[in-house]
Amino acid sequence: MVGTDLLCFERTLREENMSFKSLIRYRPESNFYSFAGIPVLYHCHHFNLFLDQTIQDALGIEEGILLQKRAAHIASYRFLSKVVEEVGVQTPIERLQLASKLFSYMGHGKLHFQANQDGGVVRGDFLHYGYTWKEKYGQVVSRSEPTDAFGGGFAAAAVEVAFGLPYDSLSVEETSCVAQGQGSCEFQLQRQVPREALPPMLTVEESERAIQTPHIESEDEGRVQSMALKLKDFFLSLESDERGLLQGFGVFVVMHLAEYYNRISYEGFYKIVDEKPFVIDMMTELLRESGHVCGFHTFGGILLSPEWEGLFGSHHGDPKEILLGGLAIARALGIGHCGLSSWDEGKKMVMQASGSYESVFHAQVYPQTSGGMCFFYQGLAGALVHLSCSVPWKDEPKFDQKLYYSLFQDPKRNGWKVKETRCLSHGDKFCEISAVRE
């Protein structure tokens, strides 16, 4: 067995090859990130947990986890193959070491490999999904199924790439998980005959070809973009801690593979809608809610943070300043080039984007739709209008579940109707979200 735990001879990759930042590109014109040419972005644990749970609730836990593992396997195999190619590592030991360091660098926790081309065991410590599930929910509910589908898919892909195996040569099963009460997470890998070829994937350059209106009209465009670029530099300066986690602004953040999010969202959406078309509105609302949860907790925490005040000064809770700040955060996270088209304070808000990480994928992979498919972007719009109009900023609130429930169980505060009126997925030249207070 090859194990990164057992590299006693301390063989390391050359320093210049381990400079992951040199492989990351931020494209200011689209506000997208790429890592070795693969689309990535930053997201928080609130979004990740809610989105995964939505897919599992809709499809059933077993089928939902299978979809998530497959999406993680596909996206991670492609990503690791590209990084290995860029860095130029050759031996299985070096490639497993590279995968382990990448996993931690991106904030996903730690993986320890005891595996070869025939399979084996991979142990996970402080895995983003399992660890944050336990932190957020562990005191109030118990869980019977594991939570780390992404870690499992990544682990299988890492061993395949390390030994030069085709995609899908290894199956993976999570046999223990901290979310289930175990001390660590563990994955069992087994060799199998590949069941499918690696599906085609869009590079960030190919994704951007869906963008038809690169320069959208937005209020205070220069200022929003300037803030976004400063925040981008701040995010890229973050380093994972000894656990392999990225923690800040009261949340756990990960640099994640955009393909993973898009595959589980859209494959899950179309599967459940094909089987039960009457639940389309409910499924749309749940996927949108994952963005709403993220926008509230993460964006709210950033806007209230000392880091924000140090970079930009205090916004004093001014509604328009909150909206503009939120759009700058979205750009800096890699959501896409979004801006404020119009704002009638407390009544109506319109956001536009040349394309979101969702729509550029959907527009090139799926048939044209009858409506908007930017589920996260829709949820974010709802969160931003609530942050601007409902949050008592002068009280320096804590962005926790108690505040979330207090705000959104109040009909007087929760009276915004959000709709995506234009979308690349619909054949439009840009994406547009309106939020109207009823």
The residue extents of the domains of the chain are: 4-191, 204-437
- Kind plus residue range of the DSSP H or E element containing 289: helix 280-294
pLDDT at res. 326: 96
Lookup: tokens for 216: 């959208």
Q: Is 224 exposed, middle or buried (0-12, 13-18, 19+ CB in 10 A)?
A: buried
- Nearest one of 302, 259, 240, 297 to 111, comparing CA atoms: 240
Q: Contact 172/186 with Cβ under 8 angstroms?
A: no
Domain 4-191 class in CATH: alpha beta
Give ∠ CA 180-182-187 in degrees, rounded to 5.
90
Tens of pLDDT, residues 195-238 = 999 988 778 888 888 898 888 878 999 999 999 999 999 999 98
Least confident of 56-65, 112-121, 238-247, 311-320: 311-320
Least confident of 196-210, 343-357, 399-413: 399-413
pLDDT at res. 12: 47
Percentage of the chain surpassing pLDDT 70? 95
Residue 17 binned pLDDT confidence (cut-offs 50, 70, 90)? very low
Q: Fold match between 4-191 and 204-437?
A: yes
Exposure string of 286-300, with b = 16+ CB inside 10 Å and e = fewer, is bbbbbbbbbbbbbbb
For residue 245, is pLDDT > 50?
A: yes
pLDDT at res. 412: 58
CA dihedral 134, 136, 142, 146 (to 10 degrees): -50
pLDDT at res. 408: 79
pLDDT at res. 2: 46
Q: Can you tell me the mean pLDDT for 320-325?
A: 95
Q: Contact 226/211 with Cβ under 8 angstroms?
A: no
Exposure string of 147-168, with b = 16+ CB inside 10 Å and e = fewer, is bbbbbbbbbbbbbbbbbebebb
Q: Can you tell me the mean pLDDT for 251-262?
A: 96
Query: For the chain, give me the number of helices (H) and strands (E)?
Result: 15, 13
pLDDT at res. 401: 84
Place of tokens 């990480």: 357
For residue 109, is pLDDT > 90?
A: yes
CA 435 to chain centre: 24
Q: What average pLDDT does the structure give for the chain?
A: 91
How big is the chain by its Cα radius of gyration, in Å?
Answer: 21
Q: Can you tell me the mean pLDDT for 299-305?
A: 92
Least confident of 30-39, 183-192, 326-335, 389-398: 389-398
* Chosen CATH of 204-437 out of 3.40.50.1970, 3.40.309.10, 3.30.1380.20, 3.30.470.10: 3.30.1380.20
Count of CB atoms within 10 A of residue 102's CB? 25
For residue 411, is pLDDT > 80?
A: no
For residue 116, is pLDDT > 50?
A: yes
Q: Contact 192/169 with Cβ under 8 angstroms?
A: yes
For residue 8, is pLDDT > 90?
A: no
Q: Higher confidence at residue 354 or residue 414? A: 354
pLDDT at res. 170: 98
For residue 43, is pLDDT > 80?
A: yes
For residue 1, is pLDDT > 70?
A: no
Q: pTM for the complete prediction?
A: 0.93
